Structure 1
Amino acid sequence: MAVLQKLLLSKLIKSVSIALSLLLFPVTGVQTAAVAADRIYATYGALESSIEIDNLVEFAKTGEIEGELITYTRRLNPTQLARLKRLLTAQINLSSVAISQFLYSPIGETLLQRLGQIIETEAGQPGFYAIRAAVILAAAKEPQGFTLLDVLREFPTNGIRVDLVQSLEMVEELQALIERTNQAIALIQKESTTAAINQQPANFSQLPDLRQTGIFSWNKRTLKLYDRSRNRAFVTDVYIPQASGAASQGELYLAPVIVISHGLGSDRNTFKYLAQQLASYGFVVAVPSHPNSNAEQLRSLLNGRTKTVTPPSEFINRPLDVSYLLDVLAQLDRTDTSFALNLQQVGVVGHSFGGYTALALAGASLNFDQLQQDCKNLNNTFNLSRLLQCRTLELPHTQYNLQDKRIKAAIAINPITSSVFGRDGLSQIQIPVTIVSSSADKVAPALPEQILPFTWLTAKNKYLLLFAGGTHFSAADKSDPDTEPLPIPESVIGPEPALARRYLRAWSVAFFETYIAGSQQYRPYLSADYAQAISQPPLSLSLVQSLPANQLAQLIE
């Protein structure tokens, strides 16, 4: 029984903590609960044990361990006890309106359904409604920030019952995914190291440092676009390098073009640093703000003006935004510049949902057969991105042609791919492509969303860039509070995000100089040798151009 008690404390608290971490986003008219939970029960078949919530409160406040909590914590070491205390007292700064808006959205309700199978009411009923009420009430009563303890105390029944069997199954599934991911990461690092040893060494200390700014100055121009065919208005920032070199001698400079697509709930400032870096190397960089999936959309959700994180139509509209933008750029009056735009050799970069956008433009096709197979039981997935991907099934099941032939190279950072494209969809890409993955990505997990999909690519020139220790937000610049609807904790961003951004600056310049500008002198940078040369702890960098399919298949199995 002692083993079960230990599992109750560590796994139950982890389950409830996972609940909050997944549901920390958005009924007006919140009412006070008639009762509040005072005890947590754990059931394991016919066995049952419990602890008082007041014991957890006292432990969180003073560190004192009393009552039944003594038995539960006996096997925990000081590090685990400290982590438990942090979980209980970590503040969540979201309003009750913001919380409720998310929990009433389709994605929020899917998460609640799964959690409700594990965390039940005192009578053993699914906890779907009770969990939602507890989180909203906690947010309403603690407008300056609520904690996990506040949620436990607002649970609208006298007791909280946890199905330990299902909880352990969930934790075991999660641990198995983590273990398989760690093995895949180790395989990539081994392959990258081997490739670096076998490659002709280059003296990068004698070559330009691509992490530094290039020789071009630039100006930013903001365009307000309106696509009448879709009744869709959006804003785009265009970074225009100032002519130098050949242009100063009266020759026409044919400027290569890059488009950057932001992620869900983000905006055109998130990758401003990358746009400026590429502009300093002579690229014209266009960064559109995708309506209905940008920061304004998330603000609307949290403020109660909309009921969805993003409509399914965004899977179609986002790539079409980029194609329309390229059409507009082709029509712009260039009389005030000394260069023309090369719109037949365009590169695209995208992050997360923007990574999907980049791959769709590159030629990946929607895969409704894969979606129908993967979306049958979303209650059994730890892949949060799949909840978004499965919304694609709400679209008419027809053949969508989202590829833009002007796109000649693509970089997808932490993309969502596994279900919306699958093997059949990704194998359609034939242009040079880079997939950037982060080992600690909790939104679009590395193994199912980037590492395995990388092996499905059939393009001749393909690269997998791995940030070991990186998260879903490592490469995104979240430092400007005025451009983000929600503050993102440092623990979610991960270690040394500035280092991830430096990696991406260097890689993007080398990749697009090689495949868009046609400057072959940058090709040595596209190597495991270079990745090793610039890699720094605590965010190590690895690069592979292929993976042994048999080893990866065995790992997945």
Structure 2
Amino acid sequence: MIKNPLTRKNHKKATIFTGLLSAIAWTQYLTMCTTVYAADRVTIRYGFLEESTSVAELKKATETGQLPGSLQIYTSALSQEQRNWLVQGLKTRIPINVVTLNWLLNTQLGQTVINDIATVFDRRQYQSGVQAVRSGLILAASSPEGLSMLSFIAAYPSQTLRLNLPQVLTVGKFLNMDFFQTQQFLLMNSPQIDRQKPSINIPFDPTQTGTQKVEISRLNLSDDKRKRNIIVDIYWSNPTNGENNIEKPLIVFSHSSSSAGTDLQYLAQHLASYGYVVAALQNPGSNFFTNKGKVGLNYQEFLALPQDVSFVLDELAKVNQNPNNSLQGKLTTNKVMFVGYSLGGTTALALAGGELQIASLKSSCEKNAGKLSDVQSFMCLARQLPQNNYQLQDQRVKQIVALKPASSLLFGETGLTKIKVPTLVFTASADHVTPSLTEQINGFNRIPSPKWLAAAVGASHFSVVDPLVVNAFLNTNNTPITSREVVGAKSADVRNYVKAISLAMAAQLTPDANKYNVFLTPEYSQFASTPLFPFRLIAPSSSINTMGNTTGKN
């Protein structure tokens, strides 16, 4: 079981020691530089309005529960509940320690965090703010109280801190408690990005293209019973040597909501170059291009998407028996690895045996109305389904790769415990669409072994999407969330890691499994880590034993 990130204390001693030395050095240096200049007043601006208060008054507010009278121009318009929320926000300790924070600030994501925080300052302070934010964060995290909004303000190296209130609220939406808790969890056992690569035996580079020439065929399938037309792109090859004549699983892809079947075309090409056949579905109810760019979903799609996969497998089984089709004999429809991204990842969990628990979903949606994240509100569409529970498992699916799935509400407390096949969940620490902590990490605890949790620190929701596809979507859907996406050439390292672990997972259903096991280890995640993206992999002992052999395969 993954322990709660707030309470887990099993840092490796050597890693702690190295991190502490670095953090202490920063703290001592910054303390000398900032003691005289630490903030003692805060000026808050909102349009043409401006009010000031002292740090001492803010500290007193956390003790009395009453906001300073000097801020009455703002607080008079707030409800008592909102005032309480602000007071609590000032003193709440952010769950990240100084060691992890120091590592985080040395990553690409850390630089983004610093730049984001710097934008809340008055433009006159912005330039110096970029350099000073790190000082304030490290000093605050090193204080006895730990890192909080108040300790950061008090440690910030400027006698007067000028804040732009609307920007404070915008940045706070992204740099919330879940965000920092996620970084703490994923980084606390991660390798430092400047540490020497581990000494492990890598038989070959799994990110490089295989030897097979890839062909693409398109099938237009019609499910007359359900009145759904499904386009399927088949990526395949003709094996050129004996090694590639071994029976391999059919790999089926499903894309995200309001996206397209070409989301992961680079990954389909990659797997096909190793002799696998990949069937990439264009989901008719959630296709960005056929729906002319409309973003949205009918609640019935939560059932229709897994049913689409089962229908396609039925049809591909017929194609496999057709002597007049070039795909005859190539489609192993009774042994399938399913790869789903975002909503497709949620579909993967359902096909693997995860039970949709609609009664629990309804209760959560009603109880937490107004407090749900965007993706949780999206999942609440399923509350319109008539039954309390749905079991949509397809026995032909032997294992799954779920890339950034949403799982916090749809499967309730026990739905994921019913998964029947080996499962790899991939998460990204800067994902604001399907947040890592609530949608992947917490749910991973409930999934039975064998299972793997792979993570990319600093990656965002669209980092895994093919660069040729993602630009069209982001250009049409420009929001505060999508504008923060790390995509294209910037996320090439992330896509390479996804190539490696997906290829290794596919091999688990072949006689070559042992050859690929190394790519499903924490050591390989450290080996693959880059200065921009530290990678992380959790492989419970029941998934991979000390000899590197997988267990529990079907």
TM-score (structure 1 length as normaliser): 0.64
Q: Is the 8 A contact 2:358 2:389 kept in 1?
A: no
Look up the match of 1:276.
Answer: 269
Counterpart-to-counterpart distance in 1, 2:518 and 2:405: 26
**Change beyond 3 A, Cα 1:79–1:283:** farther
Q: Is the 8 A contact 1:262 1:289 kept in 2?
A: yes
SS of match in other structure, 1:375 = helix
1:189 Cα deviation from its structure 2 partner: 2.4
Alignment partner of 1:326 is 2:375: no
SS of match in other structure, 1:299 = coil
SS of match in other structure, 1:456 = coil
Residue 74 of structure 2, aligned match among 43, 49, 58 = 43
Alignment partner of 1:73 is 2:98: no
C-alpha distance after superposition, 1:520-554 (max 9, x if no partner):
2211221111111111120121111249xxxxxxx
C-alpha distance after superposition, 1:5-25 (max 9, x if no partner):
427579x9xxxxxxxxxxxxx
Alignment partner of 1:533 is 2:510: no
SS of match in other structure, 1:275 = helix
Look up the match of 1:228.
Answer: 224
Counterpart-to-counterpart distance in 2, 1:476 and 1:320: 24
Look up the match of 1:471.
Answer: 460
C-alpha distance after superposition, 1:293-332 (max 9, x if no partner):
111365253xxxxxx7110111111111111111111001
**Change beyond 3 A, Cα 1:241–1:342:** same
C-alpha distance after superposition, 1:227-257 (max 9, x if no partner):
1221111111001121222399xxx753420
Counterpart-to-counterpart distance in 2, 1:442 and 1:4: 29
Residue 486 of structure 2, aligned match among 482, 493, 513 = 493
Residue 412 of structure 1, aligned match among 390, 402, 418 = 402
**Change beyond 3 A, Cα 1:173–1:203:** closer
Counterpart-to-counterpart distance in 1, 2:130 and 2:521: 44
Residue 214 of structure 2, aligned match among 218, 231, 235 = 218
Counterpart-to-counterpart distance in 2, 1:260 and 1:426: 20
Residue 292 of structure 1, aligned match among 278, 285, 288 = 285
Q: Which moved more, 1:518-527 or 1:336-345?
A: 336-345
Matches within 5 A, 1:429-440: 429-440=419-430
Counterpart-to-counterpart distance in 2, 1:446 and 1:184: 10
Look up the match of 2:56.
Answer: none
Counterpart-to-counterpart distance in 1, 2:485 and 2:76: 36
1:364 Cα deviation from its structure 2 partner: 0.6
1:370 Cα deviation from its structure 2 partner: 2.9
What is the one-letter code of the residue matched to 1:461?
P
C-alpha distance after superposition, 1:476-499 (max 9, x if no partner):
114347964726667423582111
Q: Is the 8 A contact 1:297 1:309 kept in 2?
A: no
1:382 Cα deviation from its structure 2 partner: 5.8
Q: Percent identity?
A: 30
Q: Is the 8 A contact 1:355 1:414 kept in 2?
A: yes
1:408 Cα deviation from its structure 2 partner: 0.7
**Change beyond 3 A, Cα 1:385–1:192:** farther
**Change beyond 3 A, Cα 1:499–1:173:** closer
Q: Which moved more, 1:412-421 or 1:376-385?
A: 376-385
Look up the match of 1:203.
Answer: 201
Look up the match of 1:108.
Answer: none
Matches within 5 A, 1:89-238: 171=172, 175-187=176-188, 189=190, 202-204=200-202, 207-238=203-234
Look up the match of 1:421.
Answer: 411
Alignment partner of 1:512 is 2:501: no
Counterpart-to-counterpart distance in 2, 1:3 and 1:297: 55
Q: Is the 8 A contact 1:220 1:238 kept in 2?
A: yes
**Change beyond 3 A, Cα 1:360–1:44:** same
**Change beyond 3 A, Cα 1:42–1:523:** farther
Matches within 5 A, 1:284-433: 284-296=277-289, 299=292, 301=294, 309-332=296-319, 333-335=322-324, 336=326, 339-376=329-366, 380-381=370-371, 383-433=373-423
CA RMSD in angstroms comes to 3.8
Q: Is the 8 A contact 1:356 1:415 kept in 2?
A: yes
What is the one-letter code of the residue matched to 1:419?
L
SS of match in other structure, 1:349 = strand
**Change beyond 3 A, Cα 1:180–1:328:** same
Alignment partner of 1:256 is 2:246: no
Matches within 5 A, 1:14-25: none
Counterpart-to-counterpart distance in 2, 1:279 and 1:322: 19
Alignment partner of 1:6 is 2:44: yes
Counterpart-to-counterpart distance in 1, 2:123 and 2:241: 71
TM-score (structure 2 length as normaliser): 0.64
Counterpart-to-counterpart distance in 2, 1:74 and 1:174: 20
SS of match in other structure, 2:346 = helix
Counterpart-to-counterpart distance in 1, 2:129 and 2:261: 40
C-alpha distance after superposition, 1:455-496 (max 9, x if no partner):
1111x2111111000000011114347964726667423582
Q: Is the 8 A contact 2:520 2:539 kept in 1?
A: no
Counterpart-to-counterpart distance in 2, 1:435 and 1:530: 16
Counterpart-to-counterpart distance in 2, 1:284 and 1:427: 30
Q: Is the 8 A contact 2:249 2:509 kept in 1?
A: no
Counterpart-to-counterpart distance in 1, 2:512 and 2:310: 22
Question: Which 5+ residue runs of structure 1 have no aligned equivalent?
Answer: 13-40, 49-71, 83-163, 302-307, 548-557
Length, aligned pairs only: 397
**Change beyond 3 A, Cα 1:46–1:493:** closer
**Change beyond 3 A, Cα 1:215–1:452:** same
